[in-house]
Chain A
């Protein structure tokens, strides 16, 4: 540290010393200036957008501290004035107030290039100055008798969280907010949505647990809240993505703006046009976008996101006031990143394979409960997605049709197959009147249900319980049939 204390002017006198010494001096000076630069860079490391930001930031800081000093001395003057000429106090306070607002303007004018820390600490300084002014004002020009009220308010220096005020019941009763498109309240599912060819505005994911979500194509806004242990893969979003209350998830997202609130232990693979921000979050890690599906290039281009901006790592933490790296987020180490993720919007081959295996197993070992069986052979990541579920139903329908000899049961199976078609493809409404022909069979089928056939019904009802469709034949209450 000794060299730092040397006066840079000293070498001038020693010019005529031998060249060796001179060289040494030069080297030292270089080192010094390098070190100075490094220190500057360090403190400004967080924002490196513009090449000259270092320079303009430091010049801003100079101006800012000059102004602040002069305001501080104005404060000191105020006390003197209060003793010598109290009548001048008012105008003096007005002067201080205008100096403070000039200072505030200075911050505002420069805030677009300043590192976030500087903006926030300058803002804090400004608000402290205002507070001081108020305190001094009430102290030197006491207006009210109950001056302690003013003092009390000056104590709360830190901005406090807005208190949650119970919202007016009137407002919620006189208007029902409609639901927007989205996936809500799901556990252990693979949820797929393809936006291609549809005109989707906003899309919502909420209250999901242990799900995998794939959104293919472009949309304009995405809201996500309360997700736990989920994987979310998403095509480009033209507007913004808002994420709240997520835990132990992985997101692969591309968007113009990304705002993350209340996230814990979550990884984000991003491509963003502007700087992503986090608030009230911890243990979040960032990496570049890594999604692939057929046609993603076109979608990215359409959304103006075909180029990597490098912004995925320029995260602003609204909860971190310091210039040093926020402890709440970090860059995801390369060896821990997931590779390129390829998604498809239909059932992938492995899922069809799993489906086939399960069908075969069920056939060979019908006494096994289908639920256990399915949970057993299906890897966690590819839990039932609707198409898969439907294929499964269909396969069971067809299998049962051939395996159960009794005519009534076949009829029921057939009906189920038809119904499951018309369920999935709502366009097939013409099938519906046709289904009615089987109504006559239904009662009989339910009455003459032998234990073997019952197995068939068991898994039908299992599959249908969580489905909107709940065909009458599946309500297996014995009385219904009689």
Chain B
């Protein structure tokens, strides 16, 4: 995060954070956002385009952008990179076959310059499913240890069904962003 953007953030009136949720289709992004917001998650269609949710979290206002992950619309992801403070990468821990795909897309994303300052939260979702990989296993598959040392990242296991792990993940993300951006107050 450059000096200029820090200043820009400080100038903002509210303590706003822009959070981008991405990941392969079917990973559970929309379900997670709705769950955090306490909404009904029983009927969710695959996201065509994107949703924005503004959520007050602790003393911050989170603007969460949930972008559809179907292959055809992944190329639109880059329209949302600008000014992202936090990046949430959602993984379907039960979808073993597409882990390669998942790794490739994440790697591509992390090469993106406009996202270089963003804190990265990896949610190993669907931990409630029997046979799902653990967060540690997901970390190995995605080879997270090899990531650029300057990146702030964390992996958390969660389930959008039970809600387990979600707050833990977002707590980390918000704290991490806050400590970088709003450190001056």
Contact = CB atoms under 8 A, between A and B. Distances in A.
Contacts of B48: 111, 116, 119-120, 277, 316, 318
B149 interface: no
Given A108-B50, A123-B76, A318-B70, A175 B141 contact: yes
A200 interface: yes
B167 interface: no
B79 A105 contact: no
B85 to A, nearest CB: 15
Given A168-B143, A316-B45, A318-B70, A127 B76 contact: yes
Interface stretch (A155-163, A361-369, A392-400): A155-163
B70 A107 contact: no
Contacts of B51: 108, 111-112
Nearest to A115: B48
Interface string A144-168: 0000000000000001111011011
Interface residues of B, number: 44
A107 B96 CA distance: 34
A221 B129 contact: yes
Contact of A181 (B26, B70, B131, B141): B131
A171 interface: yes
Contact of B72 (A108, A119, A318): A318
Interface in A28-61: none
Nearest to B109: A162
B108 interface: yes
B26 A105 contact: no
A259 interface: yes
B143 A171 contact: yes
Interface string B39-80: 000111110111110000000000001000011111110010
B97 interface: yes
Interface string A114-126: 0010011001001
5 contacts: A108-B50, A206-B97, A275-B45, A280-B71, A316-B46
Interface of B: 25-26, 42-46, 48-52, 65, 70-76, 79, 94-97, 99-100, 103-105, 107-108, 126, 129-133, 137, 140-143, 146
